[in-house]
Amino acid sequence: MRFLTALLLSAVLLASGDARAAGPQRIVSAGGDITEIIYQLGAGDRVIGLDSTSNFPADASEKAQIGYIRNLAAEGILSLQPDLLIAAHDAGPPPAVEQLRAAGLRVEIAPKGDSVAGVQEKIRFVGTVLELPEQAEALALKLEEDMKASLEIAEANTERPRVIFVLNTADGAPLVGGTETSADAIIALAGGVNAAAGFEGYKPMSQEAIITAAPDVLLMMSQTVDRLGSIDVMLSRPEFQLTPAGRNRRHVAMEGILLFSFGPRLPQAVRELATALQQKDG
Protein backbone atom coordinates (compact mmCIF):
# COMPACT_ATOMS: atom_id res chain seq x y z
CA MET A 1 0.00 0.00 0.00
CA ARG A 2 2.80 2.41 0.90
CA PHE A 3 4.57 1.71 -2.41
CA LEU A 4 1.39 2.31 -4.39
CA THR A 5 0.75 5.57 -2.56
CA ALA A 6 4.29 6.78 -3.27
CA LEU A 7 3.94 5.75 -6.90
CA LEU A 8 0.69 7.69 -7.19
CA LEU A 9 2.28 10.79 -5.63
CA SER A 10 5.21 10.60 -8.05
CA ALA A 11 2.91 10.24 -11.01
CA VAL A 12 0.72 13.21 -10.20
CA LEU A 13 3.70 15.42 -9.39
CA LEU A 14 5.25 14.57 -12.74
CA ALA A 15 2.00 15.56 -14.37
CA SER A 16 1.74 18.79 -12.43
CA GLY A 17 3.66 20.75 -15.05
CA ASP A 18 0.56 20.83 -17.23
CA ALA A 19 -1.67 21.72 -14.30
CA ARG A 20 0.47 24.72 -13.37
CA ALA A 21 -0.85 26.58 -16.37
CA ALA A 22 -4.12 26.92 -14.43
CA GLY A 23 -4.78 28.44 -11.04
CA PRO A 24 -3.05 31.31 -9.18
CA GLN A 25 0.44 32.10 -10.45
CA ARG A 26 1.65 34.79 -8.00
CA ILE A 27 1.08 33.41 -4.52
CA VAL A 28 1.79 34.91 -1.13
CA SER A 29 1.72 32.28 1.62
CA ALA A 30 1.35 33.00 5.33
CA GLY A 31 1.90 30.03 7.63
CA GLY A 32 4.69 27.47 7.72
CA ASP A 33 2.26 24.57 7.30
CA ILE A 34 0.61 26.15 4.25
CA THR A 35 3.96 26.92 2.65
CA GLU A 36 5.20 23.36 3.13
CA ILE A 37 2.03 22.02 1.54
CA ILE A 38 2.40 24.34 -1.46
CA TYR A 39 5.97 23.15 -2.03
CA GLN A 40 5.01 19.49 -1.55
CA LEU A 41 2.35 19.94 -4.22
CA GLY A 42 5.06 21.12 -6.62
CA ALA A 43 3.87 24.72 -6.76
CA GLY A 44 6.75 26.40 -4.94
CA ASP A 45 7.75 28.18 -8.13
CA ARG A 46 4.49 30.12 -7.99
CA VAL A 47 5.27 31.59 -4.55
CA ILE A 48 6.50 35.19 -4.55
CA GLY A 49 6.21 36.07 -0.85
CA LEU A 50 6.23 34.32 2.53
CA ASP A 51 5.74 35.14 6.20
CA SER A 52 8.48 34.72 8.81
CA THR A 53 7.21 31.31 10.00
CA SER A 54 7.73 29.85 6.51
CA ASN A 55 11.34 28.74 6.79
CA PHE A 56 11.05 25.28 5.22
CA PRO A 57 12.07 24.11 2.68
CA ALA A 58 15.38 25.91 2.24
CA ASP A 59 14.23 27.44 -1.06
CA ALA A 60 11.70 29.50 0.91
CA SER A 61 14.47 31.81 2.12
CA GLU A 62 14.77 33.19 -1.42
CA LYS A 63 11.25 34.63 -1.41
CA ALA A 64 10.18 38.13 -0.41
CA GLN A 65 9.28 38.45 3.28
CA ILE A 66 5.91 39.84 4.42
CA GLY A 67 6.43 39.78 8.20
CA TYR A 68 4.91 37.74 11.00
CA ILE A 69 1.73 35.80 10.25
CA ARG A 70 -0.30 37.56 12.96
CA ASN A 71 1.01 41.01 12.13
CA LEU A 72 0.62 41.26 8.37
CA ALA A 73 0.68 44.62 6.58
CA ALA A 74 -1.63 44.98 3.60
CA GLU A 75 0.59 47.52 1.84
CA GLY A 76 3.63 45.27 1.81
CA ILE A 77 1.67 42.31 0.47
CA LEU A 78 -0.05 44.34 -2.25
CA SER A 79 3.29 45.76 -3.37
CA LEU A 80 4.24 42.27 -4.55
CA GLN A 81 1.25 42.29 -6.93
CA PRO A 82 0.02 38.81 -5.98
CA ASP A 83 -3.10 37.16 -7.33
CA LEU A 84 -3.62 35.13 -4.14
CA LEU A 85 -2.93 35.25 -0.42
CA ILE A 86 -3.36 31.82 1.09
CA ALA A 87 -2.93 31.75 4.85
CA ALA A 88 -3.20 29.64 7.97
CA HIS A 89 -6.23 29.98 10.22
CA ASP A 90 -4.52 32.39 12.62
CA ALA A 91 -3.35 34.94 10.02
CA GLY A 92 -4.07 38.56 10.86
CA PRO A 93 -4.79 41.04 12.15
CA PRO A 94 -8.37 40.93 10.81
CA PRO A 95 -8.34 44.59 9.62
CA ALA A 96 -5.33 43.86 7.41
CA VAL A 97 -7.03 40.80 5.93
CA GLU A 98 -10.17 42.81 5.21
CA GLN A 99 -8.08 45.59 3.67
CA LEU A 100 -6.53 43.07 1.29
CA ARG A 101 -9.93 41.77 0.29
CA ALA A 102 -11.25 45.31 -0.19
CA ALA A 103 -8.32 45.95 -2.53
CA GLY A 104 -9.52 43.08 -4.70
CA LEU A 105 -6.96 40.45 -3.68
CA ARG A 106 -8.21 36.91 -3.40
CA VAL A 107 -7.65 35.78 0.19
CA GLU A 108 -8.10 32.15 1.25
CA ILE A 109 -7.87 31.15 4.92
CA ALA A 110 -7.15 27.49 5.56
CA PRO A 111 -8.94 25.50 8.29
CA LYS A 112 -7.20 24.78 11.56
CA GLY A 113 -5.92 21.22 11.74
CA ASP A 114 -4.12 19.84 14.80
CA SER A 115 -4.69 16.18 13.92
CA VAL A 116 -3.93 13.75 11.11
CA ALA A 117 -7.38 14.29 9.62
CA GLY A 118 -6.98 18.04 10.12
CA VAL A 119 -3.70 18.13 8.20
CA GLN A 120 -5.28 16.11 5.41
CA GLU A 121 -8.11 18.65 5.28
CA LYS A 122 -5.56 21.48 4.97
CA ILE A 123 -3.75 19.66 2.18
CA ARG A 124 -6.97 19.15 0.24
CA PHE A 125 -7.96 22.78 0.86
CA VAL A 126 -4.67 24.06 -0.58
CA GLY A 127 -4.98 21.65 -3.49
CA THR A 128 -8.42 22.97 -4.32
CA VAL A 129 -7.31 26.62 -4.14
CA LEU A 130 -4.28 25.96 -6.34
CA GLU A 131 -6.32 23.77 -8.70
CA LEU A 132 -4.15 20.75 -7.94
CA PRO A 133 -6.71 18.37 -6.41
CA GLU A 134 -5.11 15.13 -7.62
CA GLN A 135 -1.70 16.07 -6.23
CA ALA A 136 -3.33 17.04 -2.93
CA GLU A 137 -5.20 13.75 -2.65
CA ALA A 138 -2.00 11.81 -3.26
CA LEU A 139 -0.16 13.85 -0.62
CA ALA A 140 -2.99 13.36 1.89
CA LEU A 141 -2.87 9.60 1.37
CA LYS A 142 0.92 9.55 1.72
CA LEU A 143 0.63 11.44 5.01
CA GLU A 144 -1.79 8.84 6.33
CA GLU A 145 0.53 6.00 5.35
CA ASP A 146 3.60 7.65 6.87
CA MET A 147 1.73 8.36 10.11
CA LYS A 148 1.12 4.66 10.70
CA ALA A 149 4.79 3.96 11.37
CA SER A 150 5.14 7.04 13.58
CA LEU A 151 2.08 6.15 15.65
CA GLU A 152 3.42 2.62 16.13
CA ILE A 153 6.50 4.12 17.78
CA ALA A 154 4.30 6.29 20.00
CA GLU A 155 2.04 3.41 20.99
CA ALA A 156 5.05 1.29 21.95
CA ASN A 157 5.74 3.66 24.85
CA THR A 158 3.62 2.11 27.60
CA GLU A 159 4.94 4.57 30.19
CA ARG A 160 2.81 7.46 28.87
CA PRO A 161 5.09 10.12 30.40
CA ARG A 162 3.63 13.37 31.68
CA VAL A 163 4.97 16.17 29.48
CA ILE A 164 4.92 19.91 30.12
CA PHE A 165 5.53 22.29 27.21
CA VAL A 166 7.03 25.66 28.12
CA LEU A 167 6.74 28.30 25.41
CA ASN A 168 8.74 30.96 27.26
CA THR A 169 8.72 32.86 30.54
CA ALA A 170 6.19 35.64 31.09
CA ASP A 171 6.90 38.01 33.99
CA GLY A 172 9.05 35.29 35.47
CA ALA A 173 6.41 32.56 35.31
CA PRO A 174 6.72 29.82 32.66
CA LEU A 175 4.15 30.20 29.85
CA VAL A 176 2.79 26.67 29.48
CA GLY A 177 0.65 24.94 26.86
CA GLY A 178 -2.68 23.65 28.18
CA THR A 179 -5.48 21.88 26.33
CA GLU A 180 -6.76 23.06 22.93
CA THR A 181 -3.20 23.89 21.84
CA SER A 182 -0.84 22.47 19.25
CA ALA A 183 1.40 21.45 22.15
CA ASP A 184 -1.39 19.36 23.67
CA ALA A 185 -2.13 17.72 20.32
CA ILE A 186 1.46 16.78 19.44
CA ILE A 187 2.13 15.45 22.96
CA ALA A 188 -0.87 13.13 22.68
CA LEU A 189 0.07 11.92 19.18
CA ALA A 190 3.60 11.15 20.42
CA GLY A 191 2.33 8.97 23.26
CA GLY A 192 2.60 11.43 26.14
CA VAL A 193 0.13 13.03 28.53
CA ASN A 194 -0.09 16.79 28.87
CA ALA A 195 0.80 17.59 32.47
CA ALA A 196 -0.88 21.00 32.10
CA ALA A 197 -4.33 19.74 31.20
CA GLY A 198 -6.06 21.81 33.87
CA PHE A 199 -6.58 24.85 31.63
CA GLU A 200 -6.98 25.84 27.97
CA GLY A 201 -4.53 27.76 25.83
CA TYR A 202 -1.12 29.13 26.79
CA LYS A 203 -1.03 30.56 30.31
CA PRO A 204 1.55 31.37 33.00
CA MET A 205 1.82 28.51 35.49
CA SER A 206 2.80 29.03 39.11
CA GLN A 207 5.56 27.16 40.92
CA GLU A 208 3.02 25.32 43.05
CA ALA A 209 0.98 24.27 40.03
CA ILE A 210 4.01 22.94 38.15
CA ILE A 211 5.21 20.98 41.17
CA THR A 212 1.73 19.52 41.63
CA ALA A 213 1.53 18.65 37.91
CA ALA A 214 4.68 16.53 38.38
CA PRO A 215 5.84 16.41 34.74
CA ASP A 216 8.20 13.61 33.76
CA VAL A 217 9.53 15.50 30.72
CA LEU A 218 10.11 19.18 29.94
CA LEU A 219 9.41 20.00 26.27
CA MET A 220 10.62 23.23 24.68
CA MET A 221 11.35 24.64 21.24
CA SER A 222 15.05 24.57 20.38
CA GLN A 223 14.82 28.27 19.49
CA THR A 224 13.68 29.08 23.03
CA VAL A 225 16.48 27.02 24.55
CA ASP A 226 18.98 28.86 22.36
CA ARG A 227 17.66 32.20 23.60
CA LEU A 228 17.97 31.04 27.21
CA GLY A 229 21.52 29.87 26.55
CA SER A 230 21.03 26.41 28.04
CA ILE A 231 18.28 24.01 29.11
CA ASP A 232 19.84 24.27 32.59
CA VAL A 233 18.33 27.76 32.90
CA MET A 234 14.88 26.17 32.99
CA LEU A 235 15.72 22.90 34.75
CA SER A 236 17.45 24.80 37.57
CA ARG A 237 14.31 26.78 38.41
CA PRO A 238 12.81 25.66 41.77
CA GLU A 239 9.51 24.59 40.24
CA PHE A 240 11.27 22.14 37.91
CA GLN A 241 13.93 20.96 40.34
CA LEU A 242 11.13 19.52 42.46
CA THR A 243 9.54 17.54 39.61
CA PRO A 244 10.49 14.17 38.10
CA ALA A 245 11.59 16.03 34.95
CA GLY A 246 14.02 18.15 36.93
CA ARG A 247 15.35 15.38 39.15
CA ASN A 248 15.98 13.08 36.19
CA ARG A 249 16.93 15.90 33.78
CA ARG A 250 14.47 14.61 31.21
CA HIS A 251 13.94 17.22 28.53
CA VAL A 252 13.29 17.46 24.79
CA ALA A 253 14.06 20.42 22.51
CA MET A 254 12.75 20.42 18.93
CA GLU A 255 12.55 22.93 16.10
CA GLY A 256 9.34 24.88 16.57
CA ILE A 257 8.15 24.85 12.95
CA LEU A 258 8.56 21.06 12.81
CA LEU A 259 6.98 20.47 16.19
CA PHE A 260 3.89 22.63 15.82
CA SER A 261 3.16 23.42 12.17
CA PHE A 262 0.97 20.32 11.62
CA GLY A 263 1.85 20.14 7.96
CA PRO A 264 3.27 17.44 5.67
CA ARG A 265 6.14 16.74 8.11
CA LEU A 266 3.78 15.72 10.92
CA PRO A 267 4.89 12.05 10.72
CA GLN A 268 8.51 13.15 11.21
CA ALA A 269 7.58 15.38 14.17
CA VAL A 270 5.61 12.61 15.88
CA ARG A 271 8.36 10.07 15.24
CA GLU A 272 11.10 12.31 16.66
CA LEU A 273 9.10 13.36 19.73
CA ALA A 274 7.86 9.83 20.45
CA THR A 275 11.42 8.49 20.25
CA ALA A 276 12.70 11.24 22.53
CA LEU A 277 9.96 10.61 25.09
CA GLN A 278 11.15 7.03 25.44
CA GLN A 279 14.56 8.17 26.68
CA LYS A 280 14.64 7.77 30.45
CA ASP A 281 17.04 10.59 31.25
CA GLY A 282 18.37 13.82 29.74
Is the per-residue pLDDT at 276 higher than 90?
yes
What mean pLDDT do residues 107-127 have?
A: 97
- In this prediction, residue 16 has a pLDDT band, given cuts at 50, 70 and 90, of very low
Nearest CA among 231, 64, 41 for reference residue 130: 41
Residue 8 has pLDDT above 50, yes or no: no
Write down the pLDDT at residue 91: 96
Looking at every residue in the chain, the average pLDDT score rounds to 91
Say which residue, 115 or 22, is predicted with more confidence.
115
CATH superfamily assigned to domain 2-147: Nitrogenase molybdenum iron protein domain (3.40.50.1980)
**pTM for this predicted structure:** 0.88
The pLDDT, as a whole number, for residue 44 is 96
Per-residue pLDDT, 22 = 73
Of 121-135, 157-171, 177-191, 260-274, which range is least confident?
A: 157-171
Is the predicted pLDDT of residue 142 greater than 90, yes or no? yes
Confidence of residue 238 (pLDDT cuts 50, 70, 90): very high
CATH 3.40.50.1980 location in the chain? 2-147, 156-277
What is the separation of C-alpha 69 from the centre of its chain, rounded to a whole number of angstroms?
A: 13
pLDDT tens-digit profile of 58-112?
988 899 999 999 999 999 999 999 999 999 999 999 999 999 999 999 999 999 9
Condensed to tens digits (0 to 9), the pLDDT of residues 24-45 reads 999 999 999 999 999 999 999 9
What mean pLDDT comes out for the span 7-25? 56
pLDDT, greater one: 154 or 12: 154
Instruction: Match domain 156-277 to its CATH number in 3.40.50.2300, 3.40.50.300, 2.40.50.140, 3.40.50.1980.
Output: 3.40.50.1980
Per residue in 165-199, pLDDT (tens digit) is: 999 986 788 999 999 999 999 999 999 999 999 99
